[in-house]
Amino acid sequence: MVSDDLKNVQKIGFILIPGFALMSYASAVEPLRAANLLAGRDIYALSAHVVDGNAGMTSSGIPVPCNAAAGARLRVPYCVCLRWRYTG
Average model confidence (pLDDT) for the chain? 81
Note the pLDDT tens digit of each residue in 61-77: 999 988 776 666 667 77
- Strand (E) or helix (H) holding 78: strand 78-82
| pLDDT recorded at residue 33 | 96
Degrees to nearest 5, angle at CA 10 with 24 and 77: 80
| Sequence spans of domains, the chain | 16-82
Note the pLDDT tens digit of each residue in 44-65: 999 888 877 778 888 889 999 8
Give the residue, 4 or 35, on which the prediction is more confident: 35
Distance in angstroms (rounded) separating the CA atoms of residues 61 and 42:
30
Distance in angstroms (rounded) separating the CA atoms of residues 16 and 73:
15
56 closest CA partner among 39, 81, 36, 30: 81
